[in-house]
């Protein structure tokens, strides 16, 4: 909690107070003091704007993260200067300048390891059919802050004086770990419907609660998300999924009906029960698999792994069958699910490589269970590695995560069986080149031995030798040539 957060904070004119933060052990702001703790590059930039006759303030997430003790190298500023005036001020000072967002009032630059964006005071709103905001410039920082998505992002620090600007009580909401909108949530979400997704994203990133009136507005206005471009929705979904608490954000999307419009396969799982009756529904199982997959990550958040965990069972609703013995089955749900995952990710405009990798993991996530209690032949191990290809490590993690049984004995048995498979893979890797399984003879050698030109026959011969390689391991040159000639003779 922030000391004194529930009490009035002494402010100067226009809600300004001298700004400084002393974090406590939990990285929450403990008090405000006169001495500033703003990055020198920000103070320097503030002086440049003041000398040019303009106002500049650190704003939004940069202030929020400073208060949380987690400010990074991305700094956002707002100013009364127009974009062409901003360019004049920063050119010659910044190490690099870019104008990609200048049509929306934003100028970007790099200075001393910081990525900086300076945006002119503005307001923006959607009409009922447009996917792009209409931008108009404002005159005051308070006018600029009220257009921001949440009060915790509607705080600023004016520079170079380092005065704290908090007209919408963002500091108190930060202390309570609460997401509210500066104006009414209905006005905010009407201005930019993507803010509904951002509420779920910030809940997941910051582990904050969302105010009841905001949840209500999200629920009532969920259909407005459909005017937002797929690319913007995808980017917010990625940030949510890659956060520390994605379950929290995903549950909010499902609760409010937003998921039904951007990721309908997820809420559809609430109606299904898995084939072993181990979980209340497949939806809860899926969220648990996601949690467990995250716990196995070793090199930071893995978007492909997390998407695969989230989508691995989405084929179950379409494949559900009620058996004569009372059981429920979902035969081939992994194949159906892979196609569905590909379709959904394509609609969300994901890159082709991510679509391909996620769909492959969904398709393969049950392969391990097809081999019973561990009777893996060398051939089966080779095929498992070949089919997984570069996704093998992620397949290991997804398969292990998919075990959510509460039966500790059964869970331990499954873990031991998979340990055994990984040991078999390691052993074969020492003996063979499992990471790049190829026939003993390449296409050129096949044509040379058979005396044939390039064509379908070469491909068929190659596939035959690959099957022999998978089944028997390396044959060696002599045995491979003999096997090729024997196969060729049978084709005539």
Mean pLDDT across the chain: 83
Q: Residue 33's pLDDT band (boundaries 50, 70, 90)?
A: very low
Instruction: Give the range among 147-161, 295-309, 358-372 with minimum mean pLDDT.
Output: 358-372
Q: What angle do CA 460, 464, 468 make, to 5 degrees?
A: 170
Which of 63-72, 117-126, 151-160, 249-258 is modeled with the greatest confidence?
249-258
Q: Residue 459's pLDDT band (boundaries 50, 70, 90)?
A: confident
* Per-residue pLDDT reduced to its tens digit, 246-259: 999 999 999 999 99
CA distance 115 to 256: 35
Cis amide bond preceding 160, omega within 30: yes
Q: Position of tokens 């997984």? A: 388
- The encoded tokens of residue 421 equal 């498979």
Q: Position of tokens 């650190």? A: 58
Contact by Cβ (8 Å): 99, 109: no
Instruction: Considering only residues 473 and 43, tell me which one the structure prediction assigns the higher pLDDT.
Output: 43
> By C-alpha distance, which of 238, 349, 248 is closest to 303?
238
Residue at 286 is within a domain: no
Residue at 1 is within a domain: no
Question: In the listed set 153, 176, 199, which residue is the last one of a domain according to the structure?
Answer: 176
Question: In the listed set 124, 147, 176, which residue is the last one of a domain according to the structure?
Answer: 176
Q: Is the pLDDT of residue 34 over 80?
A: no
Pairing outcome for strands 106-111 and 96-98: antiparallel
Which of 170-174, 320-324, 328-332 is modeled with the greatest confidence?
170-174
Question: In the listed set 263, 279, 313, which residue is the last one of a domain according to the structure?
Answer: 263
Q: What angle do CA 5, 164, 211 make, to 5 degrees?
A: 45
Q: Is the pLDDT of residue 315 over 80?
A: yes
Q: What does the pLDDT average to over 346-366? A: 95
Q: What does the pLDDT average to over 164-168? A: 92
* Per-residue pLDDT reduced to its tens digit, 414-454: 788 888 788 777 877 766 665 566 777 787 887 877 888 88
Q: Residue 395's pLDDT band (boundaries 50, 70, 90)?
A: very high
Q: Is the pLDDT of residue 377 over 90?
A: no
CA distance 347 to 261: 12
* Number of compact structural domains in the chain: 4
Q: Going by C-beta distance under 8 Å and a sequence separation of 6 or more, which residues neighbour residue 370?
A: none
Residue at 284 is within a domain: no
CA distance 368 to 375: 11
Q: Which class for 105: exposed (0-12), middle (13-18), buried (19 or more C-beta within 10 A)?
A: buried
Do 429 and 457 fall into the same domain? Answer: no
Contact by Cβ (8 Å): 38, 63: no
Q: Position of tokens 């979980």? A: 279
Q: What does the pLDDT average to over 379-388? A: 81
Model confidence, pTM: 0.79
Q: Residue 328's pLDDT band (boundaries 50, 70, 90)?
A: confident
Over pLDDT 70: what percentage of the chain?
84
Do 28 and 164 fall into the same domain? Answer: yes
* Enclosing domain of residue 89: 13-176
Pairing outcome for strands 134-137 and 122-125: antiparallel
> By C-alpha distance, which of 60, 121, 40, 62 is closest to 86?
121
> What pLDDT does 266 receive?
96
Do 108 and 167 fall into the same domain? Answer: yes
Do 167 and 184 fall into the same domain? Answer: no
Q: What are phi and psi of 96, to 5 degrees?
A: -155, 145
Instruction: Considering only residues 14 and 387, tell me which one the structure prediction assigns the higher pLDDT.
Output: 387
DSSP 113-156: TEEEEEEESEEEE--SS-SSPEEEE-SSHHHHHHTSSSGGGS-E
Q: Is the pLDDT of residue 51 over 60?
A: yes
Q: What angle do CA 341, 399, 411 make, to 5 degrees?
A: 135
Residue at 443 is within a domain: yes
Beta-bridge mates of residue 158: 57, 163
Strand order through the sheet with 74-79: 16-18, 163-165, 156-159, 56-59, 74-79, 114-120, 106-111, 96-98
């Amino acid at each position: 909690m922030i000391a004194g957060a529930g009490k009035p904070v002494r402010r100067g004119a226009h809600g300004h107070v001298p700004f400084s933060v002393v974090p406590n052990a939990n990285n929450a702001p403990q008090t405000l003091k006169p001495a500033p703790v703003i990055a020198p590059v920000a103070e320097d930039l503030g002086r440049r704007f003041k000398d040019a006759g303009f106002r500049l303030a650190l704003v939004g997430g940069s202030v929020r993260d400073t208060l949380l003790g987690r400010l990074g190298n991305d700094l956002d500023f707002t100013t009364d200067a127009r974009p062409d005036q901003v360019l004049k001020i920063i050119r010659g000072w910044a190490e690099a300048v870019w104008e990609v967002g200048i049509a929306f009032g934003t100028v970007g630059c790099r200075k001393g390891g910081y990525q900086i964006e300076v945006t002119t005071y503005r307001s923006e709103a959607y009409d009922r059919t447009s996917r792009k905001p209409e931008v108009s410039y404002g005159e005051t920082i308070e006018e600029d802050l009220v257009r921001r998505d949440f009060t915790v992002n509607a705080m600023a620090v004016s520079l170079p004086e380092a005065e704290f600007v908090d007209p919408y009580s963002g500091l108190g909401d930060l202390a309570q770990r609460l997401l509210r909108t500066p104006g009414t949530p209905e006005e905010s979400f009407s201005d930019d419907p993507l803010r509904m997704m951002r509420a779920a994203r910030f809940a997941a990133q910051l582990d904050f609660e969302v105010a009841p009136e905001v949840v209500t507005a999200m629920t009532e206005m969920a259909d407005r998300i459909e005017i937002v471009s797929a690319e913007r929705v995808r980017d917010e979904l990625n940030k949510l999924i890659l956060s520390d608490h994605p379950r929290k954000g995903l549950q909010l999307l499902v609760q409010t009906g937003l998921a039904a419009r951007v990721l309908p396969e997820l809420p559809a799982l609430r109606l299904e029960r898995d084939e072993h009756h181990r979980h209340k529904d497949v939806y809860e199982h899926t969220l648990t698999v996601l949690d467990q997959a995250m716990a196995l990550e070793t090199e930071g958040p893995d978007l492909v792994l997390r998407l695969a965990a989230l989508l691995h069972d989405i084929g179950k609703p379409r494949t559900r069958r009620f058996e004569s013995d009372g059981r429920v089955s979902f035969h081939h749900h992994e194949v159906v699910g892979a196609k569905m995952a590909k379709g959904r990710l394509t609609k969300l405009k994901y890159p082709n490589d991510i679509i391909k990798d996620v769909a492959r993991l969904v398709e393969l996530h049950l392969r391990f269970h097809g081999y019973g209690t561990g009777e893996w032949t060398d051939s089966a191990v080779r095929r498992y590695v070949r089919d997984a290809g570069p996704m093998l490590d992620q397949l290991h993690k997804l398969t292990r995560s998919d075990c959510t049984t509460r039966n500790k004995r059964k869970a331990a048995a499954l873990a031991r069986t998979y340990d055994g498979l990984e040991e078999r893979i390691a052993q074969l890797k020492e003996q063979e080149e499992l990471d790049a399984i190829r026939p003993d003879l390449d296409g050129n050698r096949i044509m040379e031995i058979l005396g044939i030109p390039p064509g379908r026959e070469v491909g068929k011969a190659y596939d035959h030798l690959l099957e022999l390689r998978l089944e028997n391991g390396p044959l060696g040159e002599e045995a491979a040539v003999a096997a090729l000639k024997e196969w060729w003779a049978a084709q005539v």
